[in-house]
Amino acid sequence: DTGVSQNPRHKITKRGQNVTFRCDPISEHNRLYWYRQTLGQGPEFLTYFQNEAQLEKSRLLSDRFSAERPKGSFSTLEIQRTEQGDSAMYLCASSLAGESGNTIYFGEGSWLTVV
Amino acid sequence: DQQVKQNSPSLSVQEGRISILNCDYTNSMFDYFLWYKKYPAEGPTFLISISSIKDKNEDGRFTVFLNKSAKHLSLHIVPSQPGDSAVYFCAASEWDDKIIFGKGTRLHILP
C-alpha cells in the first residue's frame, strides 16, 4: 500500500501529557499537510510543508503544537500539555506541488482522546 | 469566517435516484474545487475536482457543476447506491494553496 500512513491510529492520554503523531506521505509527494477534524466539522487546516520547509501555520495552531518534517519525507505533529479541547481526529495529507490544481490525499487519521 | 459553506447538514435519497449535494463559497480567488467522501473513523477520500475554467466535470456516476457567477457548485450522484451513504465535503483552494473545507453533508441512501 503506497497511500498516506498515520501512526498511531488511536491515542488516549491524560490531560497535561505530551503526544506525538507520525505521518508518512505518498512517496513521490513533496507537500504534506496536517488537518484537525472534530465532530460535525470539516477538516480544519493546521499547517503544511513543501519538502522540509514549513510554509504556513494556521492561527488555530497554538504554541503547544509543533510540526516537523526534518528530511522532507515523514512528518511529526507534537502536542504538548494536552487539553481536553485537543480531542479530535488529526489528519495528514500529501500532494505533488505543481500538478494541475492541488489535490491532496488523506491518511486514515489519528484519533486523540484527552481524559 | 466560513469560506466554504454546505448549508444542508444531511440529505436522504432513495436508492437509484439522483443525489444532489450543494456548496457555496465566498472567496472569489478560489479557482480549484474538490469533493471528498468520508466514512466513519476513516480519512476523507478524494472523489472529483473541477477547475474554474470549466463548468462541468464528470467521472462515472459523479458529476460536479460549477457556477462561478453564483459562487456555487454541486455534486450529482446518479444512480445513488447504498455504498454512497457517507459524509461529503466540499473543498476549495486558490490553485496551489492550502485547501479549505466545508462542514460536510451527510448523505443517507434509503433502500
* Alpha-carbon distance B10 to nearest alpha carbon in chain A (angstroms): 11
Nearest CA in chain B to A39: B103
Is A7 near chain B, with CB under 8 Å? no
Is B100 near chain A, with CB under 8 Å? yes
- Helix locations, A27-91, DSSP H: none
pLDDT of A93 higher than 80: yes
| Chain A neighbors of B44, CB-CB under 8 A | 43, 91, 106
More confident residue, A71 or A43: A43
Contact state of A103 with B49 under an 8 Å Cβ cutoff: yes
A97, A101, A106 member nearest B44 (Cβ): A106
How confident is residue A105, by pLDDT bands cut at 50, 70 and 90?
very high
Per-residue pLDDT tens for A54-83? 999 998 788 999 999 998 899 999 999 999
Q: Rounded to the nearest 5°, which phi and psi values hold at B84?
A: -80, -10
A40, A44, A97 member nearest B96 (Cβ): A97
Say if CB B76 and CB B65 are below 8 A apart. Answer: yes
Low-confidence ranges of chain B (pLDDT < 70): none
pLDDT at A100: 60
Share of chain A above pLDDT 90, in %: 82
Q: Rounded to the nearest 5°, which phi and psi values hold at A85?
A: -70, -10
How confident is residue A98, by pLDDT bands cut at 50, 70 and 90?
confident
Q: Is A8 helix (H, G, I), strand (E, B) or coil?
A: coil
Contact state of B43 with A97 under an 8 Å Cβ cutoff: no
Residues recorded for chain A: 115
**Mean pLDDT across A25-38:** 94
Contact state of A91 with B44 under an 8 Å Cβ cutoff: yes
User: Which residues have CB under 8 Å from A21's CB, separation 6+?
Assistant: A6, A7, A8, A11, A76, A77, A78, A90, A92, A110, A112
**Mean pLDDT across A35-60:** 93
Angle subtended at Cα A48 by Cα B29 and Cα B106, rounded to the nearest 5 degrees: 70
* Alpha-carbon distance B49 to nearest alpha carbon in chain A (angstroms): 8
